[in-house]
Amino acid sequence: MDTFSAIVPDTGEVVEFEGRQLVLPGRVSTVGLDLPDDLSFEQWNGIGAALQGVGRSVQWWIGDWLRYGERRYGEMYAQAIEETGRSYDNLRTAKAVAERIQFDRRRSNLSFGHHAEVAFRDDADELLDLAEQRDFSVRDLRAEVSRRKAAKAIGAAYANDDTCTVADLNRLVALGCTFGTIYADPPWRYDNQGTRAATRKHYKAEFDENDQEIQPASGMTVEEICALPVRELAADASHLHLWTTNAFLFDCPRIFDAWGFEFRSSFVWVKSQMGIGNYWRNSHEILLTAIRGDAKRFNDHSMMSWLETERGRHSAKPEQVRHFIERASPGPYLELFARSPADKWTVWGNQIERGLFHANVREVA
């Protein structure tokens, strides 16, 4: 790889960088860069690219410099704060990342921020490789780390040996199954477990062989829902229909982003009975519709955006909505967090027998 060099003004030392030659014409000082009027566009552009490389390197330099000082002189944070003007937290991060990821593991085309996101993970190298391959931003890499953390937390604990687990969804991915429509009614985890709608009253806890609770009966966090492999299961052109409540309405964009969809519209189920709530008595639920790729229209444009029916057993949604979705959205159809089998649908959830799920999988595959 080509290099570029910078001369340290006080010593005359030449510092080599990977990628490009740093040329700083004109008047250079610690407080500015006074460039001549006759620079070509290529020269000006090259200076910017080289300065970016220097900027990306500074945090690494500080981390390695501080590591050296501590190895040779002992605790040096007070001195480092005075000399660099940086905060203790900034210096501690620089040193920790530099310690965790040695020279030969650092990716020159990824920023220090990328490395900081994964420095303390066992799969750091795998994640850095992925970030390079997919041209991840730091935000993209952070999202992947969060997805992996949540997926590990979920494990296969959301059902017993006889019913579906997250591992079954991963098997769908491995088989290459994709779906034109995904319909989901997540078991949202509420902080307030004292009302008649509390999830602890309706979702079973799971226990290991030592009778230790491995899945509390309180639903799933938003992070855990985001971690489900829906992005891999959705066809390139597909629809997502996601039930939500007022409490989680503003969390749904995170789920759309994690699953690879963009919000488009909403549907309201109006319940005939009085609901609960500290403000309005909530007598409705909201179904959000999002799209992926070219699935930009419904197949049937005759349906209104609301339905009034009686409330059924806890959290069960009106069967009419499923029929509306079949009229509107492309197949094949996958229902997540399902409670019972349905014709034309692959159904997954901790109330679905694994044998039934795999029978559906064979049909789709």
List the one residue out of 20, 27, 23 whose CA is nearest residue 2: 20
CATH 3.40.50.150 fits 162-364, yes or no: yes
- Looking only at the bridges linking them, the beta strands covering 262-271 and 206-207 are unpaired
Rounded (to 5) percent helix, strand, coil in the chain? 40, 20, 40
pLDDT at site 23 = 58
Higher pLDDT, 14 or 72: 72
67: CB partners within 8 A, 6+ apart: 95, 98, 99
User: What percentage of the chain reaches a pLDDT higher than 70?
Assistant: 79
pLDDT at site 363 = 64
The pTM (predicted TM-score) of the whole model is 0.63
Residue 277 — φ and ψ, nearest 5°? Answer: 150, 145
Task: Give me the DSSP letters along 167-231.
Answer: HHHHHHHHHT--EEEEEE---B--S---STT-GGGTS--EE-TTS-EEE-SS-B-HHHHHHSTHH
The ranges assigned to domains in the chain are 1-100, 162-364
Summarised one tens digit per residue, pLDDT across range 297-306 is 999 999 999 9
What Å distances lie between residue 59 and 1, 63, 115, CA to CA?
22, 6, 11
The three-class DSSP label of residue 99 is helix
pLDDT at site 162 = 74
Highest mean pLDDT of the ranges 10-19, 41-50, 198-207, 342-351:
342-351
pLDDT at 201 over 70: no
